[in-house]
Structure 1
Amino acid sequence: MPALNKLSAVEVRAKGPGKYSDGGGLWLHKREDGGAQWVLRLTVHGRRREMGLGRLSDVSLKEARAQAEKWRAMVRDGQDPIKERERRKRDAARPENTLRNIALDAFESRKADLKGDGAAGRWFTPLELHVLPKLGKVPVEQLDQQDIKNTLAPIWHAKADTARKAMNRLNIVMKHAAALGLNVDLQVTEKAKALLGTTRHVVKNIPSMPWQEVPTFYRSLEDPTVTHLALRLLILTGVRSRPLRYLRVDEIDGDVWTVPGEGMKGRKDKTEDFRVPLSAEALAVIELAKPFERGGYLFPSSRKGVISDATMARLMERRGLSERPHGFRSSLRTWLAEATDAPHEVAETVLQHVAGTTVQRAYRRTDYLEQRRVLMERWAQLVTGEGAGQVVQLAR
């Protein structure tokens, strides 16, 4: 083993500019300008590395030797001392690593993928209401499955969907913490699920109207009001509530409505717009709605902003119906399956669903606009009472 402790304190002070070895990879570099610093040379995983240990004016010979031995011991254990020191610096510079702080940081990093940058609070709310009040101050590295189990147990069965969302967000937060270099248990949420057991909650789908009954309901929307017209266009297009409520007049070009990508649920590529073919009946409804246009929006609220989803739902509720506006998407999808020969991928595209595997979608460069145009025209004929009982056939 190379000799250690070659230098004396007197030599360290007296030597002129140059590089002087103290042994074991520890070197003293003295510069022409009078400055000097300690450098440790190491071989880490077969690579030569150098670590600065500080200026001579700040670090004595004794302190430099102690530091050098600490880092050499780490190399002997198979670790990279340079990366370890960088990790410690990051930890020291980072705010306290509580679950709340890491959750907020994770939320910030995901905002670009969330609708409206997450301003509605739907992503963070399950954590804010059901997890952070009890666990927010717990260091994320100390969080274990028993903590999570005790926190979510009161809502695990009673509010199963909310509990599921909270657990999902927790899993994302733990992965974020791991990406920051923190020593967390990435299996902690799965372990907590095992302790909590299978939820007894039965998922209830949004009630939908049988497609055979849609024409009768559609004809009942006879008043030229914002609510009636919005519901009619919702039924005719099969879109979700939000893009319909935020429909702008300038999104319509001829008989095509282009929904901006940021308004589409379930699309990771928020720059990808979606084209909706408009039937003759849909265009007629849009013309009836144009006098209500305010601020560019076709369906404004009576106060400010746009019509709410609850407004359309309350209309159906007042009529004693259990179905809700979103359910008309199911009505349309069932009609496509039972009364048309539309291929699966075309029918799914009508509902703006992403169909097929990643590879299949990469090679499929079409949105089936022309086939959907035929289907939506026949759907409009059905709901207006013009095409009852007819089977739609698409050209192959």
Structure 2
Amino acid sequence: MHKLTAIAIKNLPPGKHEDGGGLRLVKRQDGGGQWVFRYTCHGRRREMGLGGLRALSLKKARERAAHYRGLVAQDIDPIGARRRLRAEAIRNRNMLRDVALDAFESRKSSLRGDGVAGRWFSPLELHVLPKLGRVPVAEITARDIRDVLQPIWHTKASTAAKAITRLGIVLQHAAALELDVDLQAVPKAKALLGAQKHKVTAVPSMPWQEVPAFYATLQDPSPVNLALRLLILTGLRSLPVRFARVDEIEGDIWTVPADKMKGRRGKVEDFRVPLTAEALRVIEMARIYERKGYLFHARKTVISDATMSRMMERRGLTARPHGFRASLRTWLAEETEAPHEVAEAMLAHVSDSKVVRSYRRTDFLDQRRALLERWAAHCVSGTATPA
């Protein structure tokens, strides 16, 4: 019992660490983790999550584990007991806001960063709950949903689509809690709202021929400039670059953890990025800004995606950081003879069927390295265009 200490936990490597008495800490690559209680009840070996490392201290985790050990000693399954308590609590406060928050809590473990960024919940928080949050969930109708989302159904189509999808999840959660809800309210609301007129447009990109001149304007070694240079050189999305950690880089290989790659947790894998000489030079310059293990740390946290975009906007550019992925992909198509699967792997795109991928056990690292060296040579070949 009590094998861990609060101080030692901070320095534990990723993996499973036992405290004793069934309490286990599962540490992640990003420094976060999850407390788990392991027990046997009614002949079944089970595990239940107790909470995240950031939200639950070692002391509190031990207290919860002790409580659940007491239930097991009484031949009561802790998971079943917690489920019954949660259902009873929701029955006593079944306003839509409360049920939505409970649904969010139950899904946090499957969301990137345990849902800390709040992106899953924000469409509901901003566009549904202000008007329907205090309405009993059993009274929510298709007309209610139509009325609250109609103002943004066409003008903010993507946000409205996310809001109505997540509202459907909340109603399903309410039904699982044995609340009397109309599970057809969301499909009927969609029928009332009609097809969306919004046309999805791609993120503006910069022609690959213009990238060298822009790259030359980023010579000032500020965190934003260095992050943009690394984003351009690697073809990665903004998130893994902004949240890049020193311990992810070993030699000339940068291993981006799966939870920083686009896709549902469990559906994506760690992604290896071969680092060119220019990329390594950028990383070395960025090390002076390193804080808490992050390369591009600003005042309180890492630099934001908006900061990078606003910098390009202030220069009068229509292109945005994400668009450099399209610049790289177009360059690959027009200036190289890279096979389709290698070019797609450069952007960490999933190509071919699941069966084909299961037999192709390669990430084309060497081929990507050669192509990225050529891309880096292209990027550094220009001179800044006078303003």
Q: TM over 0.5: same fold?
A: yes
Q: Which amino acid aligns with 1:164?
A: A
Q: Is the 8 A contact 1:107 1:124 kept in 2?
A: yes
Q: Is the 8 A contact 1:261 1:267 kept in 2?
A: no
Residues 372 and 175 from structure 1, CA distance in 2 versus in 1: closer, same or farther, beyond 3 angstroms? farther
Instruction: Specify every segment of 5 or more residues in structure 2 that has no aligned partner in the other structure, as ranges.
Output: 1-82, 383-387
Distance 1:267 1:369, change over 3 A: farther
Range with bigger deviation, 337-346 or 369-378: 337-346
Displacement of 1:270 after TM fit?
A: 7.6
Correspondence list, 1:178-193, <5 A: 178-193=175-190
Superposed displacement of residue 182, structure 1: 4.2
Secondary structure of residue in 2 paired with 1:111: helix
Aligned to 1:219: 216
The 1:230–1:90 alpha-carbon spacing in structure 2 relative to 1, beyond 3 Å, is: closer
2:167 is aligned to: 170
Q: Closer, same or farther in 2 for the Cα pair 1:144/1:343, shift >3 Å?
A: farther
Q: Is the 8 A contact 1:207 1:323 kept in 2?
A: yes
2-structure distance, mates of 1:342, 1:193 = 44
Q: Deviations over 1:90-147 (max 9, x none)?
A: 9656433332232122111110121221122111111112112222233434432212
**Distance in 1 of aligned mates of 2:340 and 2:98:** 45
Q: Which of 346, 351, 358 is residue 354 of structure 2 equivalent to? A: 358
Among candidates 201, 204, 209, match of residue 204 of structure 1: 201
SS of aligned partner of 1:297: coil
Task: Please give the residue correspondences for 1:76-87 in structure 2 after superposition, counting only pairs within 5 Å.
Answer: none
Judged with a 3 Å threshold, the aligned counterparts in structure 2 of structure 1 residues 163 and 271 are, in CA distance, closer, same or farther, namely closer
Partners of 2:251 and 2:280 lie apart in 1 by 9
User: 2 CA distance for matches of 1:377 and 1:156?
Assistant: 45
Q: Distance in 2 between matches of 1:89 and 1:296?
A: 40
Describe the shift of the 1:151–1:256 C-alpha distance in structure 2 as closer, same or farther (beyond 3 A). same
Output aligned runs, 1:252-291, within 5 Å.
252-269=249-266, 272-291=269-288
SS of 1:206's equivalent? coil
Instruction: Report what 2:38 is aligned to.
Output: none
CA distance in 1, matches of 2:268, 2:329: 26
Amino acid of the residue matched to residue 256 of structure 2?
A: V
SS in 2 for 1:366: coil
Distance 1:172 1:307, change over 3 A: same
Q: CA deviation at 1:181?
A: 4.1
**Which is worse superposed, 335-344 or 123-132?**
335-344
Alpha-carbon distance in 2 for matches of 1:376, 1:342: 11
Report if aligned partners of 1:262, 1:270 keep a CA contact under 8 Å in 2: no
Quickly say closer, same or farther: Cα 1:364–1:179, change in 2 above 3 A: farther
Matched, 1:336 2:340: no
| Counterpart residue identity of residue 321, structure 1 | L
For 1:90 and 1:238, how far apart are their aligned partners in 2?
Answer: 45
Residue 75 of structure 2 corresponds to: none
Q: Note if contact 1:260-1:271 (Cα within 8 Å) is conserved in structure 2.
A: no
How much identity, in percent, do the aligned residues show?
66
Matched letter for residue 117 of structure 1: D
TM-score by length of 1: 0.69
Per the alignment, residue 43 of structure 1 pairs with none
- What number of residue pairs does the alignment pair up? 299
| Pairwise CA RMSD | 2.5
Q: CA deviation at 1:210?
A: 0.8
User: Given residue 336 of structure 2, which amino acid in structure 1 is its aligned partner?
Assistant: T
Residues 243, 259 of structure 1: 8 Å contact kept: yes
3-state SS in 1 of match to 2:321 = coil
Partners of 2:166 and 2:283 lie apart in 1 by: 40
Distance 1:327 1:90 in 2: 45
Give distance in 1, aligned partners of 2:336 and 2:185: 48
Point out the more displaced range, 233-242 or 194-203: 194-203
Q: Which has the higher contact order (CA 8 A, sep 6+)?
A: 2
Query: 1:232, CA displacement in angstroms?
Result: 0.9
Select 2:103's aligned residue among 98, 103, 106: 106
The structure-2 alpha-carbon separation of the partners of 1:270 and 1:108, relative to structure 1 and needing over 3 Å to count, comes to farther
Measured in 2, the distance between the counterparts of 1:181 and 1:266 equals 31
Q: Is the 8 A contact 1:221 1:228 kept in 2?
A: yes
Give 1:148 shift.
0.8
Deviation of the 1:253 alpha carbon: 0.8
Could you state the TM-score of these two structures normalised by the residue count of structure 2? 0.71
Q: Distance in 1 between matches of 2:84 and 2:229?
A: 60
The match for 2:157 among 160, 165, 168 is 160
Question: Could you tell me how far 1:88 is from its partner in structure 2?
Answer: 11
1: distance between equivalents of 2:266 and 2:154?
A: 34
Instruction: State the one-letter code of the partner of 2:269.
Output: E
Gapped runs of 5+ residues in structure 1? 1-86, 387-396
* Aligned mates of 2:160, 2:181 — CA distance in 1: 21
Structure 2 residue 321 is matched with structure 1 residue 309: no
- With over 3 angstroms needed to count, the CA separation of the structure-2 counterparts of 1:193 and 1:333, relative to structure 1, is same
Verify: 1:380 aligned to 2:367, yes or no: no
1:136 counterpart = 2:133: yes
**Separation (CA, whole Å) in 2 of partners of 1:213 and 1:266:** 30
Q: Residue 318 in 1 paired to residue 275 in 2?
A: no
Which is greater in Rg? Answer: 1
Which secondary structure state, in structure 2, belongs to the residue aligned with residue 275 of structure 1? strand
Assess, with a 3 A threshold, how the Cα gap between structure 1 residues 334 and 182 changes in structure 2: closer, same or farther.
farther
Counterpart code for 1:331:
S
2:247 alignment partner, SS class: helix
- Relative to 1, partners in 2 of residues 1:90 and 1:312: Cα closer, same or farther, differing over 3 Å? closer
SS in 2 for 1:224: coil
